[in-house]
Chain A
Amino acid sequence: MSNAVAAPPAHAPESGAARTGRTSLSMNQAINAALHDALAADPRAVVLGEDVGVLGGVFRVTDGLQAEFGADRVFDTPLAESGILGMSVGLAMAGYHPIPEVQFDGFVYPAINQLVTQIARMNFRTRGALPMPITLRMPSFGGIQSPELHSESLEWLFAHVAGLKVVSPSSPHQAYHLLRHAASRPDPVVYMEPKSRYWQKGEVDFDEPGNLEGVDVAREGRHLTLVAWGAMVTRCLQAAEAAAEDGLDVEVLDLRWLSPIDADGLAASIAKTRRAVVVHEAPKTAGLGAEVAQLITERCFGTLKAPVERVTGFDVPFPSGSLENEYIPNIDRILYGIQRVLEYRRG
Chain B
Amino acid sequence: MTSLAFERTPLADAELVRLYSQMTQVRHLDTSAIAWQRQGIVPGYAPMRGQEAAQVGAVAALDMSRDFLFPTYREMGAALAAGVDMGEYMATHKATWNGGMYDARATRVTPIQTVIGGSALHAVGWGHGQRLDALAADADAPLDLPVALVFLGDGATSQGDVHEAMNFAGVFETPTVFFVQNNGWAISVPTERQVSGGSVAARGAGYGIAAVRVDGNDIEEVVQATRAAVAHARSGAGPVVVEAMTYRRGPHSTSDDPGRYRSLEEERNDGGPDPLDVARERLLSRGAFSTADVADVQSAAEALEERVRADVQAQGPRPGAEMFEYVYQEMPVSLREQAAAWREESDHV
Contact = CB atoms under 8 A, between A and B. Distances in A.
Interface of A: 43, 46, 72, 77-78, 80, 82-83, 85-96, 98, 110, 113-114, 117-118, 121-131, 162-163, 165, 185-187, 259-264
15 contacts: A72-B136, A77-B171, A78-B167, A80-B167, A82-B161, A83-B164, A85-B121, A90-B124, A94-B128, A95-B129, A96-B129, A123-B328, A124-B326, A127-B101, A129-B103
A72 B135 contact: yes
B128 A91 contact: yes
A86 B130 contact: no
A113 B115 contact: yes
A110 B164 CA distance: 12
B165 interface: yes
Given A86-B118, A123-B329, A187-B328, 11 more contacts: A77-B171, A83-B121, A93-B122, A93-B125, A96-B129, A96-B132, A98-B125, A114-B118, A124-B326, A127-B101, A187-B330
Nearest to B148: A90
Contact of B122 (A89, A110, A259): A89
B124 A260 contact: no
**Secondary structure dominating the interface of B:** helix
Contacts of A118: 115, 118, 122
B147 to A, nearest CB: 12
Contacts of B126: 90-91, 93-94
A161 to B, nearest CB: 11
B111 A94 contact: no
B332 A165 contact: yes
Nearest to A75: B172
A80 B170 CA distance: 14
Contacts of A129: 103-106
Contact of B99 (A80, A126, A185): A126
Contacts of B167: 78, 80, 83
List 9 A-B pairs, minimum CB-CB distance, nearest first. A90-B125, A86-B121, A94-B129, A125-B99, A260-B332, A87-B125, A83-B164, A90-B126, A186-B329
Nearest to B164: A83
Interface in B271-298: none
A14 B122 CA distance: 34
A46 B172 CA distance: 15
A89 B101 CA distance: 20
B329 A117 contact: no
A211 to B, nearest CB: 14
A117 B110 contact: no
A186 B99 CA distance: 20
Nearest to B101: A127
A93 B132 contact: no
A261 B106 contact: no
Of A114, A163, A259, chain B has the most CB atoms within 10 Å of the CB of A114
Of A86, A129, A186, chain B has the most CB atoms within 10 Å of the CB of A86
A98 B334 CA distance: 26
Given A83-B121, A123-B326, A260 B335 contact: yes
A114 B165 CA distance: 12
Given A72-B135, A90-B148, A78 B171 contact: yes
B168 interface: yes
Of A88, A118, A127, A131, chain B has the most CB atoms within 10 Å of the CB of A127
A78 B164 contact: yes
Contacts of A86: 118, 120-122, 124-125, 161, 164-165
Contact of A82 (B110, B130, B160, B332): B160
Contact of B105 (A77, A78, A96, A130): A130
Interface string B133-152: 10110000000000010000
Interface in B53-80: 68
Contact of A125 (B111, B121, B124): B111
A171 to B, nearest CB: 23
B120 to A, nearest CB: 8
A262 B333 CA distance: 8
A223 to B, nearest CB: 28
Given A78-B168, A94-B126, A124-B327, A89 B334 contact: no
Contact of B130 (A78, A88, A94, A130): A94
Interface in B162-217: 164-165, 167-168, 171
B65 to A, nearest CB: 16
B255 interface: no
A260 B327 CA distance: 13
Given A86-B164, A91-B126, A124 B329 contact: no
